[in-house]
Amino acid sequence: METIAQLGKFGMFTLAVCWRLVVGPHNLADLTRFIWTIVTRCIAPVVAVIFPFGMVVALQGLTIFALFGAERLLASLVSVTVIRELSPVLSAVLVAAQGGSSVAAELGAMRIKEELDATEVMAVDGLAYHVAPRALAIVIACPLLHLVGCVAGVGGAFFTAVVLKGERAGIFWAELFFLTEFSDIWGGFIKSLVFGAIIGLVSCYLGYTTTGGAAGVGLAVNRTVVWTVTIFIVTNYFLTSALFGGLG
């Protein structure tokens, strides 16, 4: 029963935040600042993680394609893999670990210090001024970091295939988008937006409802990472089936 009650509270929280995003007030200065903070915190980890993953995809792909003399198809494999799955999922994992956890910690600290209670006493809508900008910032930051991840993944594959393995750079770039369709591109961005919404709402909810002092803040941060990653990894299967399952 407790789990059902928590799901109900989270649902009401989600509806309340979405309503604030529609009707305002909109604090664009805070929104821009939160987006900049999340992107700058996460861009280096995204590149550092997805670049070597692109290298691994190229290394394994070359081994398989060499059996059939089809090494020229490597770039097409890389583009589809990175754009559809690798970049949106890994960039979201890093946003959850870095951006989502920081949002939960900030809101949790504000709750235990009674700053959120103070704003409510002053008739200031805490959801509109503290929660909505942070949640929307994560939603916007995820596609931006997904774009960075795509560049990093393709760059890692290019480094392995061309620099380390001696494949021709011209063939790599010519075949890069041979199998990639426009649906792959917008599908990857849709995934990033959904993952960003999950991270933003869950992290804000756990931070906003923190109890139990400093230990409660630590618990909220831990739950943010575990819950968000678990939820959107499971969600990724259904999104992939819906967006790409019917493609030839």
Question: What angle do helix axes 101-112 and 213-244 make, rounded to 10 degrees?
Answer: 150
Residue 16 Cα to chain centre, angstroms:
22
Distance CA 98, CA 105 (A): 11
Residue with the two structure tokens 């890093």: 94
Q: What does the block give as tokens for 240?
A: 């992939």
Nearest CA among 204, 218, 220, 211 for reference residue 112: 211
For residue 244, give every residue at least 6 positions away whose Cβ sits within 8 Å of its Cβ, in sequence order, or none.
Answer: 84, 183, 184, 187
Segment 24-65, tens digit of pLDDT: 777 788 889 999 999 999 999 999 999 999 999 898 888 888
Domain locations in the chain? Answer: 2-244
Most confident of 51-65, 67-81, 139-153: 139-153
Q: Break the chain down into helix, strand, coil percent, rounded to 5.
A: 85, 0, 15
Whether the CB-CB separation of 13 and 205 falls below 8 Å is answered with: yes
Whether the CB-CB separation of 36 and 145 falls below 8 Å is answered with: no
Segment 84-131, tens digit of pLDDT: 888 999 999 999 988 888 889 988 888 888 777 788 777 777 778 888
Predicted TM-score (pTM) of this structure: 0.88
Distance CA 168, CA 162 (A): 6
Distance CA 192, CA 81 (A): 15
Q: How many CB atoms lie within 10 A of CB 187?
A: 20
Q: What does the block give as tokens for 210?
A: 């923190």
Looking at the predicted structure, is the pLDDT value of residue 212 above 50? yes
Q: What does the block give as tokens for 26?
A: 């909109």
Q: What does the block give as tokens for 238?
A: 């259904």
Q: Please report which confidence band the pLDDT of residue 73 belongs to, taking 50, 70 and 90 as the band edges.
A: confident
Distance CA 142, CA 197 (A): 9
